[in-house]
Amino acid sequence: MATKKKKPAAAKTPKKTAPRKPSGKPAKAKTTKKLNESLILAESAVRGILEKKGKNVVCLDLRGIENAVCEYFIICEGDSNTQVEAIAGSVTDFVRKELSTRPYRSEGWQNALWILIDYVTVIVHVFERDTRSFYNLESLWADAEAVELVKKQA
């Protein structure tokens, strides 16, 4: 049997590209854009919370805290497990519809006393009222600055 010899691959010549011109934009452009995206995501999450009548909404800016787990914490509460579940579902729906973003991870849906929704740069904590007072996350992150994302709460 005769075996066919493979032809050697033709050497590819690298394409010539024009040298990149400096854009004149500051080096922080990507960082600023990322921070703006985080704030927009936080605002969308708050709209989802308010849609289901979430109470005592607090947004903490963690960017100034060394080794913080994210940029923003959003903490709110509901009166019952059913409402906590509805609020968390509303948050994921609003963020998905407005920003086409899904959470990296979420947990706590089984008993709905504390549902955590992790968007990496923004973490949303939806508590049942007594569970929120027990864990008191606001005091754990007391160094964080509160951000006003809600104009008027009922």
Which residue range is the domain that position 74 belongs to? 33-147
Q: Is 86 part of any domain?
A: yes
Q: Is 143 part of any domain?
A: yes
Structure pTM? 0.74
- 95-108: burial string, b at 16+ Cβ within 10 Å, e else: beeeeebebeebeb
Residue 27 has pLDDT above 50, yes or no: no
Q: Is 3 part of any domain?
A: no
Q: Is 104 part of any domain?
A: yes
Q: Is 45 part of any domain?
A: yes
Neighbours of 38 (CB within 10 A): 19
Q: Is 126 part of any domain?
A: yes
Least confident of 14-23, 102-111, 114-123, 137-146: 14-23
- pLDDT mean across residues, the chain: 83
- Specify the pLDDT at position 11: 57
Q: Is 17 part of any domain?
A: no
Q: What is the CATH number of the domain that holds 115?
A: 3.30.460.10
In what helix (H) or strand (E) does residue 84 lie, and over which residues does it extend? helix 81-99
What's the total number of domains in the chain? 1
139 — pLDDT class (breaks 50, 70, 90): confident
Tell me the per-residue pLDDT of 41-86, one tens digit each, with 9 for 90 and over. 999 999 999 999 999 999 999 998 888 899 999 999 999 999 999 9
Q: Is 7 part of any domain?
A: no
